[in-house]
Structure 1
Amino acid sequence: MTIASHLVELRRKHEVLSEMVEQAQRSPSTDALQIAEMKKQKLRIKEEIARLS
């Protein structure tokens, strides 16, 4: 896997997580810990993208 294709995949994962977080925040039944974990995953992915760029 090239760095460029890896970056594309990371950006896609980041976008999917963003959508999941937004959806979870709109749903009153979602656990705050789940939302926090998804946000941490997003941050890790964002840091990885920055490191590779």
Structure 2
Amino acid sequence: MPDNAAYDKNIGRVLEKMLPFFREQYGNASSQYTLGVKAKRAIEQAC
């Protein structure tokens, strides 16, 4: 039986949404420059 506290079947969907931020949109969400603002917006929308 899988331990969903450590892993979830939906991880593929989450990873798909996160990949652009790992590959080309890697901004610091605490900064004021464009990539950072986009990262912060993505985090806020995800919550």
With normalisation by structure 1, the TM-score equals: 0.33
Larger RCO, structure (CA 8 Å, separation 6 or more): 1
Which protein has the bigger helix share?
1
Structure with larger Rg: 2
